[in-house]
Chain A
Amino acid sequence: MNAIDVHGLVKRFGDKTVVDHVTMSVAEGEIVGFLGPNGSGKTTTIRIMCGLLTPDEGEGTVLGFNIRTDSLRIKREVGYMTQKFSFYEDLTIGENLEFVARLYRLKPVEEHVASTLEDLGLTSRRNQLAGTLSGGWKQRLALAACIMHKPKLLLLDEPTAGVDPKARREFWDEIHRLASGGLTVLVSTHYMDEAERCHRISYISYGKMLATGTVAEVVRNAGLTTFVLQGPRLDQVAEALQGRPGVDQVAPFGATLHVVGSDKKKLEAALADVEKEHKGVKVSPGETSLEDVFIQFMSGSKDNMA
């Protein structure tokens, strides 16, 4: 049984279709990254999965429970970490955890709270008001609170936005530790390095699911060709390349220039021209990165934010 199995989910706000026939399945124990630009419907999809929003169309199960009829059961078994910190800022860390422990009827409360604090290294900050914590600590508290009841599925909505790299690294180590214990994780993110740490990724853009698979699969299926250019005056080269047929992306990376296109023949032709015009420029084949793929997706999909 898959931890998440939803198909054809549609959610409209007014006449705007925010989630447009999204189908997704996540196997047990998997860590799946949920990617997509802002406003593409990630949060909305996650909310539908944990019963906080009712889909206009579509069906599905989460942990085997129907998302339309069994949302109360789902809530008990799922840990949902909201995008915005949504614990009580006027309660201390300890009080927030006690609140959660009591709501999930974890007994004895004190033992659960103490061990959670211990695990996250928050014991010394137990009596600090949650509102006074820094971003990184708030994330850790939120994660701690939503895994306290030992959920089978974690839904994490941009858990590391605005968190420093070290804290992000620790956060992901924790996620992997939890997943190895059998927990399933669906995590939305903007960070490419985080996507690379997922078993699989799903890319959603303006409500539509555009790609699903391992990072390698997604990159391969995108069918992009990448070349790396080296040499003098790359800024002029970049300018010359912009807008040529076959050239979709031109991006400087340090002392090199990455040029990406979906039509290999046209791209090669364009590069051959540029090589002739600019003496000393050396063109070599490059690796297409996940980021290149996403930027390709983003420029390709039409904006329905308006």
Chain B
Amino acid sequence: MNSVFSFARLGALLIKEFIQMRRDRITFAMMLGVPLIQLVLFGYAINNDPKSLPAALVATSNDPYTRAIVAALQTTGYYRFDHVAQSAAEAEFLISRGDVAFVVTIPADFARRVESGNNPQILIEADATDPAVASGAISTLGTVASQALLRAQGTQEAAAEAAKGQLDVVVHRRYNPEGISQYNIVPGLLGVILQMTMVMMTSIALTRETERGTMENLLAMPSSPLEIMMGKVLPYLAVGGVQVVVVLAAAKLLFAIPFTGSMSLLLTAVLIFVLALVLLGYTISTIARTQMQALQLTFFFFLPSIMLSGFMFPYRGMPDWAQAFGEIFPLTHFLRITRAVMLKGAELPAVAGEIGWLVVFVALFAGVALVRFRRTLD
């Protein structure tokens, strides 16, 4: 008789765990409902392509070119010129207070320079404190302004060709020079939501048995540490799988996130990530003595992983030591994989290294959990 692993015993543990999960309606609803609610809430709230942002215009002359450019910017939907500043200083005040997200400055000599073909410039200052705010508005800017200018020149019957390509749009991203890409947030949210629910649920897996007094019985019966671990981890892996499908479907339907890359590659990576998470949670539950301790440990892990994984702040913007520290979180690697696969259409070779990292986490957490598992009540 094999004492280390038997499918019959694992089956017993799995069935028991699924029944308990089903009976615990609130937790079950939480595991499936909360991710969806969070996705919708954060996904819409954290809009990284916001429109109709307040803008201030600093324009001293009222020539047709200036008017054409302002009109064109307004038509993009990004800019809402509800402030007209009289001076650069006033505009500076508005943006520093956060009253406006942009200051568009069209110099007094703009018309003259356009007509003489002498390198006309407009200046856009963007409040990039939250880099996501500015990126959409800025990315459309150059073309919109140039086209507007060309049209304006056409109506003035001036030499359109001469001015073509000459408009110089100077962009100053203020306060935070590094912007993040447009669809960052939803893949990131997937990772964070999974991490939150999976680690938290499994971190109380063993402490709950201990606190309810069922651990003594479980240990008195012939189940091996490996079976107990798998019996706890696999049901949550299944829940994680369902969560992934729900969140990805919602991402597609609600946010039209492009899925450029291979779906099977993405799902494989996500499942390995979820496995690493449930094993991490289980490891926590072999260390914590009470459910409270387990939750504290979970949060202790949770916050730095959000901060340093590249979810909150651009990874490349962090100092070297912080980047090195960030590598120890599965979320960091997961974010790289999802962004690469979902948005850039990366194939397996490009993300194999990161997937390898996740596999290392799986092995590491499983190993620690098995070593930490107490077969006795000592």
Contact = CB atoms under 8 A, between A and B. Distances in A.
Contact of A87 (B3, B15, B217): B217
Contacts of B212: 86, 89
Contact of A52 (B1, B213, B377): B377
Given A72-B3, A90-B20, A102 B12 contact: yes
Interface string A58-86: 00000000000001100110101010111
A87 B16 CA distance: 11
A51 B12 contact: no
A99 interface: yes
Given A51-B376, A52-B377, A86 B16 contact: no
A102 B15 contact: yes
Contacts of A95: 16, 19
Interface string A98-113: 1111111100000000
Contacts of A84: 213, 216
A147 to B, nearest CB: 13
A47 B221 CA distance: 13
B6 interface: yes
Nearest to A86: B217
B94 interface: no
Nearest to A75: B222
A156 to B, nearest CB: 12
Contacts of A53: 376-378
A286 to B, nearest CB: 43
Contacts of A102: 8-9, 11-12, 15
A213 B288 CA distance: 44
Contacts of A103: 9, 12-13, 221-223
Nearest to A51: B376
A88 B20 contact: yes
Contacts of A52: 216, 219-220, 376-377
A72 B220 CA distance: 9
Contacts of B3: 72
Residue among A51, A82, A103 with the most chain B CB within 10 A?
Answer: A103
User: What band does the interface of chain A fall in when counting residues whose beta carbon is under 8 Å from B?
Assistant: 20 to 34
A109 to B, nearest CB: 9
Interface in B208-254: 212-217, 219-224
Interface string B149-191: 0000000000000000000000000000000000000000000
B377 A76 contact: no
Nearest to B221: A103
A54 interface: yes
A253 to B, nearest CB: 38
A259 interface: no
A77 B23 CA distance: 32
Contact of B216 (A54, A82, A90, A101): A82
A194 B3 CA distance: 37
Given A88-B20, A102-B8, A50 B213 contact: no
Contacts of A105: 1, 6, 8-9
B322 to A, nearest CB: 42
B24 interface: yes
Interface of B: 1, 3, 6, 8-9, 11-13, 15-16, 19-20, 23-24, 212-217, 219-224, 375-378
Interface of A: 47, 50-54, 71-72, 75-76, 78, 80, 82, 84-91, 95, 98-105
24 contacts: A51-B376, A52-B219, A52-B376, A54-B378, A71-B376, A75-B220, A75-B221, A80-B220, A82-B213, A82-B220, A86-B212, A86-B214, A86-B215, A86-B217, A87-B217, A88-B214, A90-B20, A91-B16, A98-B12, A99-B12, A102-B9, A103-B9, A104-B222, A105-B9
